[in-house]
Amino acid sequence: MNPKRFFVLLALIGLLLFGLWLPAGAAPAAQQYVTPTPGTDGRITYIVQAGDNCFRVAALHGITVDQLRQLNSKLDENCTLVEGQELLIGVVAAATATAPANQAALTPTIAPTPITGTTEVCVLLYNDVNGDAMRQETEPAISGGAVSVTEINGKYTGSQDTIIPADPDAYQGVCFSDTPAGTYNITVAIPDNYNPTMELSYSLEVNAGDRAFVDFGAQSQDIVVDPGAEETANGGGGSTVLGIFGGLLLLGGAGLGYYAWRSGKPESKLAGGGILKK
């Protein structure tokens, strides 16, 4: 085979495969955080989730970063967290059984108290400035939106408007208190001058005593999207820009294929040394 034709065909195959490999741009889901309840030993622990940092974990549990460091002495100077890592958030008094006077020598047993009552669900709508579907500390809350929370069996329903808080550092979103345990459908409406960067509905299951936090991101239409923005952190798909780029690669591959076909057409010699192209 002609080396020139072989190189063109090889480039065509590579472009086609790369264009098909690019993701289609599925929207990521909302971020969910559930505050754990104390264990029978009184320790309150939290398992680090993808995208967590010390500032976020401290804010979710109403403590400072310094307090988080004091409770977890093994944290390095940069307060680096690893997904799946267990953090101590606080300690409360553990309930222990009282031994009878004539059985003072027996080892006391720990009697866990069944958790009853209600839960709290907090929903935050924030300005996803970089469009990565992961809230950063510098990305503020958005006002003018609306949040609806509905328990699927009809035990609870409620709605609130989103606001810009007076104290952004301590803000955890609009909260629905005294909600019964169950499975909730959470939907968010965003202002007209914003575009969503993730799905605007989420299914959340909570138990009595939990505090759940769900983040939803939207990006202002005044922000110019960077074509080189990083992919979403939860692996839910790539950006629309990458999809368009893949389509252009496919068109370029088709053009190279046509060129290869034209280059491979046979030629006939004419009398007198001329060449007739077919």
Look up tokens 């952190």; give the residue: 233
**What are the backbone dihedrals phi and psi of residue 40, each rounded to the nearest 5 degrees, phi first?**
-65, -20
The dihedral built from the CA positions of residue 226, 229, 234 and 237, taken in this order, carries a sign that is: positive
Query: In this model, does residue 202 exceed pLDDT 80?
Result: yes
Provide the pLDDT for residue 264.
60
**3-class SS of residue 250:** helix
Provide the pLDDT for residue 185.
92
| Rounded to 5°, angle at Cα 125 from 131 and 85 | 75
Provide the pLDDT for residue 98.
47
127 DSSP β-pair partners = 218
Tell me the pLDDT band of 177, cut-offs 50, 70 and 90: confident
Between 245 and 174, residue with greater pLDDT: 174
**Rounded to whole angstroms, how far apart are CA atoms 145 and 131?**
18
151 DSSP β-pair partners = 184
**Rounded to whole angstroms, how far apart are CA atoms 86 and 51?**
15
Provide the pLDDT for residue 58.
80
**Rounded to whole angstroms, how far apart are CA atoms 90 and 42?**
8
Mean pLDDT to the nearest integer, 45-63:
83
Mean pLDDT to the nearest integer, 186-192:
92
Mean pLDDT to the nearest integer, 28-33:
60
Provide the pLDDT for residue 97.
44
Q: Residue 91, CB half-sphere, CA atoms under 13 Å: how many?
A: 6
**Rounded to whole angstroms, how far apart are CA atoms 31 and 185?**
14
Tell me the pLDDT band of 244, cut-offs 50, 70 and 90: confident
Provide the pLDDT for residue 106.
43
What's the distance, CA 26 to chain centroid? 12
What stretches of 92-244 adopt beta strand conformation (E)? 118-127, 146-151, 157-161, 174-180, 182-189, 194-196, 201-206, 211-220
Query: In this model, does residue 146 exceed pLDDT 90?
Result: yes
- Specify the pairing of strand 118-127 against strand 211-220: parallel
Mean pLDDT to the nearest integer, 217-233:
64
Mean pLDDT to the nearest integer, 39-55:
82
pTM beyond cutoff 0.85: no
Q: In three state form, how does the secondary structure of 213-225 look?
A: EEEEEEEECCCCC
Considering the chain, what is the average pLDDT of its residues? 74
Mean pLDDT to the nearest integer, 92-97:
53
Burial bucket for residue 83 (CB in 10 Å: 0-12, 13-18, 19+): exposed
**3-class SS of residue 86:** strand
**3-class SS of residue 173:** coil
Provide the pLDDT for residue 78.
85
Query: In this model, does residue 167 exceed pLDDT 50?
Result: yes
Mean pLDDT to the nearest integer, 93-98:
50
Provide the pLDDT for residue 227.
47
Between 115 and 207, residue with greater pLDDT: 207
What's the CATH code, domain 43-91?
3.10.350.10
CATH code matching the domain that covers 27-36+117-222, chosen among 3.30.365.10, 3.40.50.1100, 2.60.40.10, 1.10.150.120: 2.60.40.10
Provide the pLDDT for residue 268.
46
**Rounded to whole angstroms, how far apart are CA atoms 124 and 126?**
6
Identical topology for domains 27-36+117-222 and 43-91:
no
The dihedral built from the CA positions of residue 243, 244, 250 and 253, taken in this order, carries a sign that is: negative
What stretches of the chain adopt beta strand conformation (E)? 31-35, 43-47, 86-91, 118-127, 146-151, 157-161, 174-180, 182-189, 194-196, 201-206, 211-220, 267-269, 275-277
* Domain boundaries defined on the chain: 1-25+240-262, 27-36+117-222, 43-91
Tell me the pLDDT band of 273, cut-offs 50, 70 and 90: very low
